[in-house]
Amino acid sequence: MQRLLAYTDKLSVRPGDQVAVKVSAPDTTPYRARLMRVICGDDSPDGPGYKMEPVKGVPESERPGRHQPIPCGSYVAIRDRKGFALASFSLSAFIWPTWVDKGEPQCILGNWDAASRSGYALYLDEQGRLALRVGDSAPVALSDTFLGRHWYRLAASFDARSGQVVLSAHRALPYGGMEQRQVAKGKAKPSEAPNRFLIAAWNDGAKAAAHFNGKIDSPAIYGKALKIDALLAPPGGRGAPSARQAVAAWDFSRDVPGTAIHDRGPKRRNGQTLNLPTRAMTGWNWDGSEHNWTHKPEQYGAIHFHDDDLYDCGWETDFALRLPKNLKSGIYCLHLTQGSLEEFTPLFVCPPKGKATAKLALLVPTASYLAYANHQMATSWHFDETSSTKFTTLSPADVFMEETVSLGLSTYDLHNDGSGVAHSSRLRPILNMRPKTDLWQFNADTHITDWLEAKGIAYDIITDEELEQDGVAALKPYKCVMTGTHPEYYSERMLDGVQDYTNQGGRLMYLGANGFYWRIAWHPKLPGVIEHRRAEDGMRAWWTETGENYMAFTGEYSGLWRRNGRPPNMVCGAGFTAQGFDYSGWYDRTAASRDPRAVFIFKGVGQSEKIGDFGSIGGGAAGWELDRADFSLGTPPHALIVATASEFPASYHWVKEEFNHTHSAINGDTCPMVKADMVFFETPKGGAVFSVSSISWAGSLAHDKYRNNVSRITENVVRRFLDPKPL
């Protein structure tokens, strides 16, 4: 399948900024580019209508197409080349391989170049056996295939004078009747090539190839042929060579949050990680006594590499776009067309720095967009149809990602080796962060921008990146802040920012559900990348290995905010309680809706009206994912539950983190926890919070040309929240 692809160097921008646009086309046919303002990206038959407006003053441009490759796979590159052009040498490392039956070579370390067939490499061969290759000589390999997800101590030596190759592996965990150590010997000719020295890949000309899948710990190289017993001795143990004797001996437990790799040897042959392999991984010597890598970093000296890791596509810039200085804050897209192909690349235009242009801010959940970026649930989750109770329908984007397998993954996917994806970056084409895509995340949030435009309510755009960078200062200029439909992924600084905003008199409209749920971290140096580890509980697509729940970027414990002592209820009055994806219901008003504090919410709405028994997402305003109030989890004691949706089928499931024993009443038709609570409460200094507790709420706003009770309630609240009169 052919596809026009693009991304930009920035996602969150301001008027006057210059944006670098990177494009890959299937052929050299010219493509056209224009800047469009996104009103509504929903082109479905039941939606409000697809609405995009060209930006005046920004002319269309035409440029020749070209294909740009995507360099997937993580590895380490060492800066020095000449220092590794050795005649004789010895190599050692610990490895924990995760895809031994891949059927392709997987390099552990060396400077071998497949294009010139020069240098040397220690690697797993096509059969999953340890092998050593020197130049154009035939490789020497062990006889037995490695076991996946077991630690091995590896050793290899080559004596240039005799041509002798010795290769050995020692398995860390013995099993009855199985040999712990393997040894192989052979002959080779020297190859003193000054190629790049790589860890977890080898060279193929200017490219990296033969990517390793699994953990590598304590790799080292020595400038002579050492005895195998010495190389197999534990580092620092009796008879083991010291770092002083090494050409290089790398310690992956140093500078874990960064991208640098440190050599403990005297030459300081340091390196750099490429494509963000996963760090803060338990090493060969992890003994279970500590689960926080910051307390015992020496036991977290492993890096987990994957052949499908991707941080930055690294494409060349095709053209630069200078945004107009008077550009209105909002959601925009670069719309590219090449024949019948089209591509949208979003830009979130915030107001000029420090200058709010409206009283209302729409807080766009870009961190959550990244968490779901290019997810492949439809094709890779064996339980997808069972979970959604719907037959899977593949979109063109789903098919393309299945065929291409190189656009990088979401935090809901598994790597090729079966391990969970912990990183997601915006420096790549993200096919589901576009108009004309599924009504989930980005495109669902354009129902809100569509409604704001229809109602003539002025708003600014603020993104999670601004919130992470500036904290509460990003929100403070606004009388009211409105969330998207699914602000699920939050860092500590982001969560503090929202909480501080409401505590200092700000007014929050939470127009979604399953928000403030998972704890993430942003990389301290690399732009536009998040880390998330699915620790302990929650509705998870995968879970972390034992001892690996703390994030490498910050050292913070990941997983649920609830497990970190900050349930979502403390922020917005409600927290994730259930999900289902085949039906959406309605709300019924409660007696609390007649409280004088809350009467403004329901002005023009009858007491017995069904609220939201209509909509383009599941047919109702309450659905997909639901939140409920719970005073034991931090819902403020003065909060009012003003409406509740409780009629849900068996396809809706109560969240698993709340099971404390075997329980059969977990579905919508049996479990009282499967509901959505509409919540209102005041905060200090005249602030307030209003929560709808449903992802599908925004899909009901446009019903009957915006003349409906969901639209009326939303408008009642936003206009009251924008009124400076104290609540």
DSSP 650: T
Instruction: Calculate helix-pair angle for 709-722, 442-455, nearest 10 degrees.
Output: 70
CATH number of 5-51+319-348: 2.60.40.10
What are the DSSP calls for 592-616, one per residue? GGGSTTTGGGGTT--TT--BT---S
Which of 184-188's residues contact partners 24+ apart within 8 Å by CB, and which partners? 184/140, 184/141, 184/142, 184/143, 185/140, 186/138, 186/140, 187/137, 187/163, 188/132, 188/134, 188/135, 188/137, 188/138, 188/140, 188/158, 188/163
Backbone torsion region of residue 621, taken as left when φ is above 0, otherwise alpha when ψ lies between -120 and 50, otherwise beta: alpha
- For CA atoms 300, 303, 304, 309, give the dihedral sign: positive
Q: Give the residue carrying structure tokens 């830009």.
A: 347
Place of tokens 């009796």: 238
The token duo for 111 is 């400077």
Could you give the CA distance from residue 126 to residue 144 in angstroms, rounded to a whole number? 12
Which among 250, 258, 259, 260 has a CA at the least distance from the CA of 301?
Answer: 250
**What's the pLDDT score for residue 233?**
86
Low-confidence ranges of the chain (pLDDT < 50): none
pLDDT value of position 521: 98
- The whole-angstrom separation of Cα 507 and Cα 501 is 8
Q: Domain residue spans in the chain?
A: 5-51+319-348, 75-305, 360-722
Cα–Cα distance for residue pair 348/13, rounded to 1 Å: 6
pLDDT computed for residue 631 by the predictor: 97
DSSP 72: -
Residue 297 phi, psi (nearest 5): -60, -25
- Transcribe 151-171 into DSSP letters: -EEEEEEEETTTTEEEEEEEE
Question: How is residue 86 written in tokens?
Answer: 């050795």
The model's pLDDT over 68-88, given as tens digits with 9 standing for 90+, comes to 999 999 999 999 999 999 999
| 622 touches 678 (CB < 8 A) | no
Task: Give the list of residues 6+ apart from residue 228 with CB closer than 8 angstroms, or none.
Answer: 155, 157, 166, 168, 183
Q: Any residues with CB less than 8 A from the CB of 122 and at least 6 apart, and which?
A: 91, 93, 107, 108, 109, 110, 130, 131, 132, 154, 156
Q: Mark 464-498 as b/e (b = at least 16 C-beta within 10 Å).
A: bbbbbebbbebbbbbbbbbbbbbbbbbbbebbebb
Q: If you search the block for the tokens 């294009």, which residue do you land on? A: 115
Q: Give the number of residues written for the chain.
A: 727
What is 275-315 written as a DSSP string? Answer: S--EEEE--TT--SS-S-TTT-GGG--EEEE-TT--SB--P
Residue 509: helix, strand or coil by DSSP?
Answer: strand
Domains 5-51+319-348 and 75-305 share a fold: no
The pLDDT value given to residue 400: 84
Looking at residue 384, its pLDDT comes to 66
Q: Domain 75-305 adopts which CATH fold?
A: Jelly Rolls (2.60.120)
Please report the pLDDT score of residue 388 as a whole number: 67
The model's pLDDT over 359-406, given as tens digits with 9 standing for 90+, comes to 999 999 999 999 999 988 777 766 666 666 777 788 888 888 888 878
Cβ proximity of 582 and 608 under 8 Å? no
pTM of the predicted protein model: 0.96
Provide the 8-state DSSP code for 23. Answer: E
SS (H, E, C) 361-399: EEEECHHHHHHCCCCCHHHHCCCHHHHHCCCCCCCHHHH
Q: How many Cα atoms sit within 13 Å of 236 on the Cβ side? A: 5
Concatenate the DSSP letters of all residues of 213-272 into one string: -EEEEEEEEESS---HHHHHSPTTSTTPPPGGGEEEEEETTSSTTSSEEEE-STT---EE
H/E element, 342: strand 341-349
Backbone angles phi, psi at 656, to 5 degrees: -70, -20
Residue-wise pLDDT tens digits, 406-421:
889 999 999 999 999 9
Strand 559-560: give its sheet, edge to edge. Answer: 489-490, 518-519, 559-560
Return the SS3 of 637. Answer: coil
**Adjacent-strand bridge partners of 94:** 153, 217
Q: How far apart are CA 597 and CA 717, in angstroms?
A: 12
User: Which phi and psi (to 5°) does residue 198 adopt?
Assistant: -125, 150
* Nearest residue to 652 (alpha-carbon basis) of 573, 560, 568, 539: 539
